[in-house]
Amino acid sequence: MHTITDEQQWIKKTGEGDHRAFKKLYEAHVVSLFRFLRQYSENTAQVEDWVQRAFIKAYHNIVSFKGTSRFSTWLFTIALNEMKSDFRRTKSVILSMDGFYEQRGESEEEQFVWSDSMKVLLRELDEQKRSVFLLFEVEGYSHAEIASMLNIGENASRTLLCRAKQQLRTQWECMEKAV
């Protein structure tokens, strides 16, 4: 586990051209970034491409990182923009839920799995609700960080989270009644 001070040193050293420092940043964030982006595509190669492009952009623009947010917030924003840009270019639709997960342990390295029922319910959420829900509930970002990542207001983030939970709850109840 790394500390914020470690991360700040790695960022500073990366800005000075230290490739080993960037490797530490990469190792600290690659699992959570891949896990998050995996929720938008079942195509592993596509997700790996988004992760790679996000890290490349982060590396080339590290000197523009101001430190006003966590590095992971900045990195996730870059990755979300890469994903959205890719979808706009290919006119794909964000549908796959095969990568959705639920934490089963405390370690980042542990496996995550959503039930098939929950995959169906999450698929029904629009992209913004799904992103806010996952960033807040699964990844642990604050509403301020989510607002920054998605270019929305903090109140919008709170509202989207509330609506996502409400929609999931309602749909879950309907599924339970049908069974």
- Listing DSSP states for 115-160 in one string gives -HHHHHHHHHS-HHHHHHHIIIIIS---HHHHHHHHT--HHHHHHH
The rounded mean pLDDT for the chain is 81
Q: Summarize the confidence of residues 114-143 as an average pLDDT.
A: 82
Q: What is the pLDDT of residue 114?
A: 53
Distance from C-alpha of 18 to C-alpha of 45, rounded to nearest angstrom: 28
Task: Please state the domain count of the chain.
Answer: 2
Predicted TM-score (pTM) of the model is 0.62
Q: State which of 96, 126, 147 marks the end of a domain.
A: 96
Task: With a cut of 50, say whether residue 144 has pLDDT above it.
Answer: yes
Range of the domain at 177: 115-179
Task: Provide Rg for the chain, Cα atoms.
Answer: 17
Distance CA 162, CA 172 (A): 15
134 and 50 in a common domain: no
pLDDT in tens, 6-55: 889 999 999 999 999 999 999 999 999 998 888 888 788 889 999 999 99
In a domain, residue 101? The reply is: no
Would you say residue 151 lies in a domain? Answer: yes
Which of 47, 62, 96 is at the close of a domain?
A: 96
User: Both 5 and 41 in a single domain?
Assistant: yes
One domain, residues 74 and 128: no
In a domain, 44, yes or no: yes
Shared domain check, 58 and 29: yes
Question: Within this chain, do residues 1 and 83 fall inside the same structural domain, yes or no?
Answer: yes
Of the residues 48, 65, 96, which one is the last residue of a structural domain? 96
Give yes or no: residues 130 and 92 share one domain. no
Kindly tell me if the per-residue pLDDT of 80 is higher than 70: yes
Q: Are residues 125 and 37 in the same domain?
A: no
pLDDT category at 169 given cuts 50, 70, 90 is confident
